[in-house]
């Protein structure tokens, strides 16, 4: 399983790496920064209103004030970021790389599927509309929270300015999107917190998988390690604020009863061979090199 880096481990990373420097090839800031998901019509279900976020704009935590700035160029944490990027390029083709590529999928349905092994059931998502509604509404709040610091700091992604392998196709849209904080890590960690509150007896496994889901962004090569740490902090901030919202808490209670019913019977057990490979791959610490 991946482990959180201590300060001594950061020093090892700094000493071990000969970093590739995206900073040496600066790019102009995108003219149209990526925004949060549209709150208008639901394009996936024509004729139905779009899912609405839980939090009013004034209630949303300000991640620009909550997060520290991304590491300054050549500061110790910046060197550790680049060391982690360089070191994890060697994972291309490994089982951990495959998990990172699979973790690129986001949203309620994808995360429930990715968490099937730790939940112990591959949930029939037609049976859990309240769970999906809870996660998709929260997702809009999470997207809005990450947009502020992304646009404020305009941090380039680690693969910009080099040809190192990444686990997804390089596109201009990805290149022009901002890196800090990681939206995937924000969403994955917040979803893990929500799922842990719904099924507290599985909290340890769920939260460990949520951490690995975020760190897949480092393995994938599309985020810096500090982007992922900032994503966890952003996700925690939004979750804490959501817990103060009566509508969210009411939906959380509905989802809890629904998910427990789905887990108690009627679901399909995940492929144990797949789960064993996942557990073994996540047990290896990819940031030690």
Catalytic site includes residue 113: no
**For this structure, is 217 an active site residue?**
yes
Q: Catalytic one among 211, 217, 232, 251? A: 217
Catalytic position from the list 223, 232, 245, 251 = 223
CB neighbours (10 Å) of residue 283? 10
Active site residue 209: no
Contacts of 176 by beta carbon, 8 Å cutoff, 6+ apart:
27, 30
Beta strands in the chain (DSSP E): none
Q: Which residue among 227, 232, 245, 251 is the active-site one?
A: 227
Distance CA 156, CA 176 (A): 8
Is 223 an annotated catalytic residue? yes
- Residues classed as catalytic: 184, 217, 223, 227
């Amino acid at each position: 399983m991946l482990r959180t880096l201590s300060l001594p481990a950061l020093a090892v990373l700094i000493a071990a790496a000969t970093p590739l420097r995206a900073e040496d090839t600066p790019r102009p800031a995108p003219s149209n920064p990526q925004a949060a998901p549209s709150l208008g019509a639901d394009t996936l279900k024509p004729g139905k209103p779009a899912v609405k976020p839980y939090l009013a704009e004034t209630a949303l935590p300000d991640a620009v004030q909550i997060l520290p700035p991304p590491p300054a160029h050549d500061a110790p944490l910046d060197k550790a970021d680049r060391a982690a990027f360089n070191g994890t390029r060697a994972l291309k083709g490994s089982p951990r790389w495959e998990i990172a590529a699979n973790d690129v999928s986001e949203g309620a349905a994808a995360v429930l599927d990715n968490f099937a092994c730790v939940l112990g059931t591959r949930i029939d998502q037609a049976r859990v509309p309240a769970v999906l509604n809870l996660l998709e509404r929260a997702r809009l709040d999470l997207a809005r929270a990450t947009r502020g610091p992304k646009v404020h700091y305009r941090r380039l992604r680690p693969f910009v300015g080099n040809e190192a392998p990444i686990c997804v196709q390089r596109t201009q849209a990805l290149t022009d999107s901002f890196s800090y904080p990681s939206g995937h890590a924000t969403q994955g960690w917040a979803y893990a917190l929500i799922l842990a509150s719904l099924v507290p007896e599985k909290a340890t496994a769920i939260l460990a998988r949520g951490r690995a889901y975020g760190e897949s962004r480092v393995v994938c090569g599309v985020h810096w390690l500090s982007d992922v740490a900032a994503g966890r902090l952003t996700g925690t901030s939004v979750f804490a604020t959501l817990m103060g919202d009566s509508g969210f808490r009411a939906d959380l209670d509905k989802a809890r009863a629904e998910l427990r019913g789905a887990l108690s019977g009627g679901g399909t057990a995940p492929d144990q061979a797949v789960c064993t490979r996942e557990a073994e791959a996540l047990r290896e610490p990819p940031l030690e090199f």
